[in-house]
Every structure is written in C-alpha cells, then in structure tokens.
Amino acid sequence: MNPGPNLLGPPFRGATVRAMRLLPGAAHFQVSELPAYLPGGAGEHLYALVEKENANTDDVAFALARATGRPARDVGYAGRKDRAAIARQWFSVRLGAEADLAKLAAPPGARLAVLEVGRHRNKLRLGHLAGNRFRLALAGAADAAALDALRAELDRLTRCGVENRFGAQRFGEARTNLAVARAWASGDAARAAALCVDPAGAWRPGDPLPDEYRPGLFGRVVGALRRAPAEPERALRAAGPTLAKLLASAAQSAVFNAVLDARRGAGLLHRARPGDVLRRSGGGLFRAGADDAAEASARAAPGRLEVFATGPLPGEDAFAPSTEVLAEEQRWSEPAAVEWAWFEPKSPLASPGARRELVVPFLEPPALELAGDVAWLSFALPPGSYATELLTQCGVAGRG
C-alpha cells in the first residue's frame, strides 16, 4: 500500500491568507491546558502546573520522575503538548514530595518552571482535560486583504467547525513514529528498533550504537540494545507500554486522517447516513438508523453543530458502525498503509480503539489582537485538536 498525499493535511483554503504565516520560536506558539478538574488539596498524588519551553511532554515527565525519585510510571499527564511552544500543563506524581520540585532540571536547550502545586487523590491520565487555549503570533497583519481573508476563514470555521485532523506532530519527527509502528506491527522488530536508533534509516543491526545519551522512549530502546544488541523485540518492549501506545496512536491517526479525507471528498463531513457512528455535543456515541439519519444530518449541519459524524481509531472494542459503513471505512483508510489487524489483542499495537469527531466546534471563539505587522490569534479547542491544523484550514503558512 502506498500512503496517500493527503495523509498529513487537507487541501489549502484561503489562498489570500497565505500572505500570513506563523512566526517561528516558542514564544509565538502558546498553549494553556484547560483542566477537567483542579487538585482537591489532599491525596497521594502531587500535582504540578509546569510551564515548559522547547521540551516535549515526555521530557517533562522524565524530569519530574528524576527530581522526585519516583519511577516513570508514577508520573501522569492529561495530554501531550508541542515541543516548540510555551505550554502550561498539569502533571501528577504519585507519592511525590513538593520539596523535590526544586531539583527539577530542564533538558538541554529547554526551560521548565513550576507555576502551581497541589495534591489530589488520583493520577492524571490521558484525556483528563477539558481542552486547550491557544495564542499564536501571525506575521503579515499589515496586509489588509490577507487579514480580511483570515477573518472570513475564521468565520467559516466558526460556522462549520474545524476539521479534526491529527497534525504532523502526531506522527513524530520525519514521521518516524508511524514508520516504527508499521515495521513493528508487520513483524519486523529489527527494522523498528533500527529506526528508533536512526530515523533516517542508515543504521543497521551490527553497526556501532551511538555513544551519546538519548532521552525519551526511543532512548530507552537504544539503551536496551546496548545491553542486548541481538534482541530488538525485547528492546522495543523495554520502553514499556507507553511506547506501544504512542506508536499505536500514530497508526490509528493515519487511519483517521485518511477516512476524514474520504468523507470530505464525498461531502459527508456534516451528513449522517444509516449505520454511521455519531456523537451528540457533550454526549455519547450512537449509531444512526434509517429513521433518524435525516434529523441527525440537520443537527450536524454548519451553523448548528449539535451532532458530529465520527471516524475510526481502530481497535478491538471501538464502537462499530454498521457492517457496510465499516467496510467502507476500511476501504477509505487504505492510503494510510495501516492494517486494522495490527490493533487486535497480542499485536504489539493492541488497542481498545475509539471514535473521534470529524469536525469540532470552538470551545472559545477565535479573536484577533493586532500589534503592528503581527496578529495574535486566540481560541480554544477540545482535547486532542490541533491548532496547526486550524491554521492549515485557514490557509496560513507554517513557520518560516
């Protein structure tokens, strides 16, 4: 199978807006987590609101584990945030001591600061958040036509919703996470481990391993290979379930993006058919029937956005559409070059699966604040939605 050209992005809209671009540097991409709840004041878990710059979420989790002397499995967080950003998010550390936070050390080139602390009875887990608030700096605001075009695109997205695509970050730098997932799930553990060592693919089993310390999950694989170079499967599993979940997520995201592209092309982003799996705004999933598909389509229409069509994150227990729609989704996902059987039990990427809305509404409407040639764009999106995808859908250029 050959990955399709639209795996990482939809067709550009708003050509005039291309005169604007996201400014480089972490200071121009700010994100603040909107927590589902705040620490209650008592419990075995230390909560810390951390501001990070030029570090990914796993970097912070490892740094917290080292500072508090707790195993990595005792550190929790609600969602992953961009590396090239100033991001504020909550972490939990089971049996962590507040005094140990003074020993928190940032990775080279990064900055970490603890803003608040508290205690709570439970560990933070993925999904324990209400959304994320973004503040992005866009160059080109002096171009009146581009600014007007951007406002028109934001109005369109406010009415129609933001396509809920997974951004390029989900697949790892140079799409390495996806490449490792494909290799491991298809039975080539040696290839998967080699890509962890060298994402460019030049390293081969038997070559000398790099001497420098490797942080993160791929670094754990490299460390395990140093101890047992001939056991790539064991090296991959030495990184723990977090690596398997990360890789499964990358592969599932590729499937979802391919299905979203296909539904857009068929005019089905805001239309429900019998057998489709839908989600009510603020509610649960349901399968559309022949008697309620028309009503669901009306509620899913731009301007209402009360019901949302969903796409698959394949797995054993995912809420399934009708047999006909399931076969269609599997056919639509072929450009992702991902086998759905990879997520079944006993596979390295075994996953329960889920459904994800194809479009999402703003949690807070977009607002523009002008400062000379810079426009600061602020908005909030539901958990798991990508600000970079919103910019792509508006036609704003990436960082220069």
Q: Rounded mean pLDDT of 231-245?
A: 93
Radius of gyration of the chain measured on its C-alpha atoms: 22
The residue-averaged pLDDT of 314-327 equals 95
Q: Could you give the C-alpha distances from 398 to 20, 36, 387, 389, in angstroms and in order?
A: 9, 30, 11, 10
* Residue 2 confidence (pLDDT): 38
How much is the average pLDDT of 327-342? 98
pLDDT digits (tens, 9 = 90+) for 192-207: 999 999 999 899 888 9
**The pLDDT value given to residue 214:** 78
Residue 283: its pLDDT value, please? 87
Say whether pLDDT at 175 is over 60.
yes
pLDDT of 263 > 80? The answer is yes
- Flag whether pLDDT at 19 surpasses 50: yes
All domains in the chain, ordered by first residue: 37-126 (3.30.2350.20), 171-241 (no CATH), 249-360 (3.30.2340.10)
pLDDT at 260 over 80: yes
Reduced to 3 DSSP states, what percent helix, strand and coil does the chain have, rounded to the nearest 5?
35, 20, 40
| Arithmetic mean of pLDDT, 2-27 | 65
pLDDT higher than 90, residue 95: yes
CA 92 vs. chain centroid, Å, equals 20
What is the average pLDDT score of the chain? 93
Q: Is 157 exposed, middle or buried (0-12, 13-18, 19+ CB in 10 A)?
A: buried
Of residues 59, 82, 261, 276, which has the active-site annotation? 82
CB 274 within 8 A of CB 293: yes
Contact 257, 166 (CB under 8 A): yes
Judge whether 74 counts as a catalytic residue: no
pLDDT of residue 4: 38
Q: What is the pLDDT of residue 400?
A: 57
CA distance 70 to 232: 27
Q: What percent of the chain has pLDDT over 70?
A: 96
Distances (CA, A) of 100 to 46, 48, 63, 114, 384: 11, 11, 11, 11, 31
Owner of token pair 């009503």: 295
Residue 193 is predicted with a pLDDT of 96
Query: How many other C-beta atoms are found inside a 10 Å radius of the C-beta of residue 253?
Result: 25
Q: Does position 365 have pLDDT exceeding 80, yes or no?
A: yes
Maximum mean pLDDT: which of 64-68, 143-147, 280-284: 64-68
For the cut 50, the answer to whether the pLDDT of residue 1 exceeds it is no
Between 240 and 91, residue with greater pLDDT: 91
- ∠ CA 215-216-220, rounded to 5°: 85
Q: What is the DSSP string of 46-81?
A: EEEEEEEES--HHHHHHHHHHHHT--GGGEEES---
Report whether pLDDT(243) > 60: yes
pLDDT higher than 60, residue 6: no
pLDDT on residue 224: 94
